[in-house]
């Protein structure tokens, strides 16, 4: 049976404050006993079984992972079965660390070397679906644009190393495509030099940043678009003297409009900048940070894990697909087994307002796996088996496998998101505590 869930909020410092945060508002709508703290940052709402913020079944207060274990017929005495994903709502005020996630193989290696900073053996692919205008940095820019910025901003050359950047320019100008081993190896050297400049020559970084900002003020843009200038200003304010403040010069600045969606797997450098999104991530904590963060920075691991792909930002977009037979469901299926996202949108048509047409129920696909659904807008009647209930904004449900659900919207717009996966989630019972 469909089960109502109580979920967790994360109050990380980069979250939007109080009622400015969609996370706060949505959480309060579904958890009426919660008082929103006006000055408290509300960064993430977690919907999943991850031990750092496990969902509980509202009726029984039991962890969702236990309910899934109980209901799994192939379960051989496991106390808990985890979902392979966490669905999140995020409200981002400013940049939250330049980072990359390892592949499964890399994660296993890192975990063996350093189980404190890499608490599990799993990978963490990520998908971000824009609820509002949503900005992020993702993947290295095409080589041409990096070259253009090296020309326009000698400060970038200085922190990446004169010799290293010269070599990179030569490789590209000699006709090696940006996909080639040579190009990637040359970029890697530039990147490595730059990351280490933060500890090897912090004064150089501070000086070059100052000169870089002066150059921006004089109107020089290189390959930058005007929308990237406020991003640079925000980084300057929140992370003064941080070498990561140069990152928009070599990473793609993506500006997603509501309903647009992007995905990146392991080995891709990225940073969320601002806005609200639905995020689907692998059920893991493995994050390797490069800069723009007070948290642990692991330069060596980061340099080794990156794939140094240089590409247009469109590479990371996930195309929406209307499901045949389910006209109100749009699927976002990235190239990974850990999660697929469904957007469920029912709009009342103006002309037929008083007609029965609006009362035609919307069927949701019956899936062979469990899923989590969050209602983001509106109110509706949900029918399943012989049950019927009103579902509304803020409600979060676990839908067990093979459940047929019919939804009849009571409002002008009903909007919900559902995440599922056919995989079994990781075993978290060996995690270190604390
Ligand atoms: Zn990430």
pLDDT 10s digits, 147-169: 999 999 999 999 999 999 999 99
- 231-241: average pLDDT: 96
- The DSSP H or E segment spanning 4 is strand 3-6
User: What are the backbone dihedrals phi and psi of residue 9, each rounded to the nearest 5 degrees, phi first?
Assistant: -110, 145
For residue 257, the 8-state DSSP code is P
Question: What confidence category does residue 357 fall into, taking pLDDT thresholds of 50, 70 and 90?
Answer: low
Question: What confidence category does residue 74 fall into, taking pLDDT thresholds of 50, 70 and 90?
Answer: confident
Q: How far is the CA of 126 from the centre of ligand 1 (A)?
A: 6
Question: What confidence category does residue 429 fall into, taking pLDDT thresholds of 50, 70 and 90?
Answer: low
Output the pLDDT for position 122. Answer: 85
Contact assessment for residue 247 and residue 137, using Cβ atoms and an 8 Å cutoff: yes
Q: How far is the CA of 99 from the centre of ligand 1 (A)?
A: 6
Q: How far is the CA of 116 from the centre of ligand 1 (A)?
A: 18
Q: How far is the CA of 270 from the centre of ligand 1 (A)?
A: 7
Q: How far is the CA of 239 from the centre of ligand 1 (A)?
A: 19
For residue 36, the 8-state DSSP code is P
Fold of 321-420: Jelly Rolls (2.60.120)
Q: How far is the CA of 82 from the centre of ligand 1 (A)?
A: 20
- Our answer to whether residue 289 is catalytic in this structure is yes
432 pLDDT more than 80: no
Output the pLDDT for position 431. Answer: 55
365 pLDDT more than 90: yes
Active site residue: 121, 289, 393, 418, which one?
A: 289
Output the pLDDT for position 433. Answer: 43
Q: Which contacts of 201-208 are long-range, i.e. CB under 8 A and separated by 24 or more positions?
A: 202/241, 204/158, 204/159, 205/159, 205/241, 205/242, 205/243, 206/241, 208/155, 208/156, 208/158, 208/159
- 406-416: average pLDDT: 94
User: What are the backbone dihedrals phi and psi of residue 304, each rounded to the nearest 5 degrees, phi first?
Assistant: -75, -30
60 pLDDT more than 70: yes
Q: What rounded mean pLDDT belongs to the chain?
A: 93
Output the pLDDT for position 353. Answer: 53
With pLDDT > 70 as the criterion, what percentage of the chain qualifies?
A: 96
Q: Residues annotated as binding site for Zn(2+)?
A: 99, 101, 126, 270
Start-end of CATH 2.60.120.10 domains in the chain: 321-420
Which residues lie below 8 Å from residue 143, measured CB to CB, with a gap of 6+? 172, 178, 183, 187, 310
Q: Residues annotated as binding site?
A: 99, 101, 126, 270
312 pLDDT more than 90: yes
């Amino acid at each position: 049976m469909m089960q109502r869930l109580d979920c967790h909020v994360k109050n990380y410092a980069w979250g939007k404050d109080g009622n400015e945060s969609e996370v706060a508002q949505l959480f309060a709508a579904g958890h009426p006993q919660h008082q929103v703290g006006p000055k408290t940052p509300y960064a993430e709402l977690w919907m999943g079984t991850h031990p750092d913020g496990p969902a509980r079944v509202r009726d029984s207060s039991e962890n969702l992972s236990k309910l899934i274990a109980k209901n799994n017929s192939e379960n051989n005495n496991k106390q808990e079965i985890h979902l392979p994903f966490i669905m999140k709502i995020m409200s981002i005020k400013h940049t939250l660390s330049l980072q990359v996630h390892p592949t499964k193989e890399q994660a296993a290696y890192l975990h063996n070397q350093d189980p404190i900073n890499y608490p599990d053996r799993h990978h963490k692919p990520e998908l971000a679906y824009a609820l509002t205008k949503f900005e992020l940095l993702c993947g290295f820019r095409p080589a041409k644009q990096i070259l253009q910025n090296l020309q326009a901003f000698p400060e970038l050359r200085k922190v990446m190393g004169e010799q290293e950047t010269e070599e990179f320019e030569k490789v590209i100008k000699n006709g090696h495509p940006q996909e080639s081993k040579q190009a990637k190896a040359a970029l890697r050297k530039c990147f490595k030099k730059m990351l280490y400049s933060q500890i090897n020559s912090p004064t150089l970084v501070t000086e070059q940043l100052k000169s870089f900002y002066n150059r921006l003020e004089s109107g020089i843009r290189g390959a930058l678009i005007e929308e990237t200038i406020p991003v640079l200003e925000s980084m300057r304010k929140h992370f003064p003297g941080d070498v990561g403040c140069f990152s928009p010069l070599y990473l793609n600045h993506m500006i997603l409009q509501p309903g647009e969606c992007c995905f990146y797997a392991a080995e891709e450098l990225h940073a969320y900048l601002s806005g609200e999104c639905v995020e689907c991530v692998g059920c893991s904590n493995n994050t390797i940070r490069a800069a723009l963060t007070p948290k642990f920075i692991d330069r060596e691991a980061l340099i080794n894990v990156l794939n140094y792909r240089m590409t247009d930002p469109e590479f990371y977009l996930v195309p929406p697909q209307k499901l045949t037979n389910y006209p109100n469901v749009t699927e976002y299926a990235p190239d990974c087994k850990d999660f697929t996202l469904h957007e469920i949108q029912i709009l009342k048509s103006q002309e037929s307002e008083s007609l029965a047409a609006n009362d035609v129920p919307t069927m949701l696909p019956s899936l062979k796996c469990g899923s989590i659904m969050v209602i983001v807008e509106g109110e509706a009647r949900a029918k399943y088996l012989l049950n019927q209930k009103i579902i509304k904004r803020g409600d979060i449900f676990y839908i067990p496998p093979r459940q047929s659900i019919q939804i009849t919207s009571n409002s002008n717009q009903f909007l919900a998101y559902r995440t599922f996966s056919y995989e079994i989630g990781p075993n978290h019972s060996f995690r270190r505590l604390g």
